[in-house]
Structure 1
């Protein structure tokens, strides 16, 4: 395998709501804090990255890494409809300037799951009006900060609503038991919590009171999405891309998708093809004018003659319940490259584990797959491990540990793990040992 070049972007990723803390104007903050919340715990101060971003970026730099993917929080920039907060723009300007000062390439995501609460009360991610709102927000951010941003991911995991809809459809009408709950957590690349129907009903009643809406009309980014909602998400991407290019055509614009390595046993080919269309191929018409694609992969799914086959008791699993299978990343990149003849950035790849030796092994095997793909001629610009820090994993709270850096949340003290040094050493040498 050829070594990674000096220009190859290698680093780690975060999302604003998961690390910054006190994102009080977002829909997720509301959902975490209502009575009977489906969230294991609220995010609160998270890991205080909002105030400690220099320390965290410096740890990344000290390890030898050169890229940081992070998100700008819409709920901070536009806490109320039509009112932009210049102080928050100044904050993200400081983050970007610090990246450049440290020779770190910033990859900015404009929407990473959380939205301003007011967007949801205006109809959320099933409303035509959200297209205009997102375009206006994107245009404002790039007008203010675009000279500091080389790469923009408009929307993180734009296909997530469809994946959630499939899970909910499969599990609808059942009182979820512990085995079903474990299956659901391993069936989607995000921290969700599936509870018994009675608690879910109480939760949605509380949400309705919080948002002043019929709970059936609340459409956050993580709600199961209709086909019209899928179109709206992708129209938001198109509108944002157009605005970004009008303001600053030098910025490279893309989107990210949650992608499994779908594998077929005899008879399972039709299920793999269906999953590939739903996860990726159906979105191709919307991204033809993009500059790059963000690939996000954590595991594989195996399909037989009767559909998806759950991992058995002998399967090695991660803490999230995914199969431990680092080779999935290379397989997904190869699949994508057959339909996407433009640059790829691995914008998320990683695992939750309490054993950092497992993380080191995972990184080594995953990056070997990336190198193989590059040797085959596939254009891959970079790799950002998920995540830089142990952080708030949505409905599952703080138990999941994806990070290259551990955090004692009582003191907010950072403890870099061996995996951070390992990834940095690969960047410095270009070689996987």
Structure 2
């Protein structure tokens, strides 16, 4: 996950890139229908990423950004939550939830800290990580690039140097060969639009360099899709998109719109919606995501809109989560458990209305380094990374909730969302034409 940082810095005529949304029928609006259970083979999961959680991280673009206190960096990286040494217990925590998918990343900077020199200790760590995920009855979802590249790649110009495309694909081929045949779900680039935004602001890149990076990401994903299918036949491949409310057309235009023929499923990251009466998503762009007023019903419209655009593909919610301010309760009393139940309700509504949703990952299993600080807390398990030397994992209220949701194949049929549906939502303009309905009491 990444804070929706400094999106305005890359607006770049975003208004002309907005994708018109086909109106939905008013009859499908809010909780008027009971929800079906998700399919028995639905892929419940949890997610994390290497740099954000592993700790003891080698030289990379992001260790440099943290050390240099780039825009948005408020806390030192320290050792993050030291997933690299806590992963056996964290995998056990995930298994106890009942999830079937464990998403993480294989970090290029750790595997190949110097050009042509792969670290045996790093490979042993990742080998054991994948082995333990599989032994726990979970399927690995492995991200090849979660915004982090080795320091030597930075020194050669990063994505502005054409050589990086070939270097990235060489590393991808090495990783895929190592873990092929293990049921991996492959993600090439995590949130390519946010990757570009962060490099634009943190490196920083000129507009021309940003355009070069964008073209390189598209070229690399397209090549990686074919490479993965050649090396690991039958393995699904995608790149998860960051849903971006009114800027979503721009977000999709970075990578997604150019690779729809090179996706096996649509991976969607949904955190924040927006409506005529709720523009609080701007707080995410200014580094205070805990101030956003969530719109769980937006997930329903987002899933349905992507299904309409690509009806041949199934959808997977690769990331969805809830930030709190350093673990403190929200002033409005809305809890992590309520947020989770409300979003799963709308996911089930989407399935009931014919959207082919095959999986859902909660972001994240534990709190971690949110691209500059530890204040935004997204974890099912909270960790005081700055103050607790033992990095104790403490369960939030949502641990039992998620376990119950998984066991029950969703929220109960009669569940009434805590958050009422938004009126005049960005996700579907037809909602501006009808009054906001209130889900009936059950």
Tell me which interval the TM-score lies in, with the shorter structure as reference length: 0.7 to 0.9
Q: Does 1:236 align with 2:212?
A: no
CA contact (8 A) 2:280 2:293 kept: no
Q: Does 1:290 align with 2:263?
A: yes
> C-alpha distance in 1, partners of 2:37/2:99?
15
CA contact (8 A) 2:49 2:104 kept: yes
Alpha-carbon distance, 1:287 to partner: 3.0
CA contact (8 A) 2:345 2:410 kept: no
- Please list every run of 5 or more consecutive structure 1 residues that lacks an aligned counterpart in the other structure: 169-203, 205-214, 263-274
> C-alpha distance in 2, partners of 1:25/1:345?
32
2:402 is matched with which residue?
A: 423
1:159 is matched with which residue?
A: 193
Residues 12-42 of structure 1: CA distance to partner in whole angstroms, max 9, x if unpaired?
1101111100112221112212378852122
2:317 is matched with which residue?
A: 346
Alpha-carbon distance, 1:284 to partner: 2.3
RMSD (CA atoms)? 2.8
What SS does the aligned partner of 1:385 have? Answer: strand
Q: Does 1:327 align with 2:301?
A: no
Alpha-carbon distance, 1:147 to partner: 2.3
> C-alpha distance in 1, partners of 2:160/2:131?
36
CA contact (8 A) 2:47 2:362 kept: yes
Alpha-carbon distance, 1:245 to partner: 1.5
CA contact (8 A) 2:336 2:397 kept: no
CA contact (8 A) 1:71 1:112 kept: yes
Q: Does 1:245 align with 2:217?
A: no
Cα 1:380–1:40 change in 2 (3 A) is same
Q: Does 1:258 align with 2:292?
A: no
> C-alpha distance in 2, partners of 1:312/1:259?
14
CA contact (8 A) 2:321 2:363 kept: yes
- Corresponding residue to 2:251 among 276, 279, 302: 279
Cα 1:39–1:3 change in 2 (3 A) is same
Alpha-carbon distance, 1:165 to partner: 8.9
Moved more, 14-23 or 123-132: 123-132
- Please list every run of 5 or more consecutive structure 2 residues that lacks an aligned counterpart in the other structure: 1-34, 413-442
Alpha-carbon distance, 1:310 to partner: 5.9
Cα 1:164–1:86 change in 2 (3 A) is closer
Cα 1:12–1:355 change in 2 (3 A) is farther
Alpha-carbon distance, 1:71 to partner: 0.9
CA contact (8 A) 2:307 2:355 kept: yes
Normalised to the residue count of structure 2, the TM-score between the two structures is: 0.76
Residues 232-265 of structure 1: CA distance to partner in whole angstroms, max 9, x if unpaired?
1111111222221121112111101111344xxx
Cα 1:8–1:216 change in 2 (3 A) is closer
Cα 1:421–1:216 change in 2 (3 A) is closer
2:391 is matched with which residue?
A: 412
> C-alpha distance in 2, partners of 1:348/1:103?
21
1:167-186 equivalent positions in 2, closer than 5 A: none
> C-alpha distance in 1, partners of 2:316/2:227?
22
Cα 1:276–1:431 change in 2 (3 A) is closer
Alpha-carbon distance, 1:224 to partner: 9.7
2:54 is matched with which residue?
A: 20
Normalised to the residue count of structure 1, the TM-score between the two structures is: 0.77
> C-alpha distance in 1, partners of 2:56/2:282?
40
2:64 is matched with which residue?
A: 30
CA contact (8 A) 2:186 2:238 kept: yes
What SS does the aligned partner of 2:335 have? Answer: helix
Alpha-carbon distance, 1:86 to partner: 3.2
CA contact (8 A) 2:172 2:224 kept: yes
2:108 is matched with which residue?
A: 74
1:63 is matched with which residue?
A: 97
Moved more, 13-22 or 252-261: 252-261
2:349 is matched with which residue?
A: 372
Cα 1:318–1:333 change in 2 (3 A) is farther
Number of equivalent positions: 364
1:110 is matched with which residue?
A: 144
CA contact (8 A) 1:162 1:225 kept: no
> C-alpha distance in 1, partners of 2:266/2:397?
30
Q: Does 1:88 align with 2:61?
A: no
Alpha-carbon distance, 1:289 to partner: 2.4
Cα 1:381–1:225 change in 2 (3 A) is farther
> C-alpha distance in 2, partners of 1:303/1:163?
26
Alpha-carbon distance, 1:371 to partner: 0.8
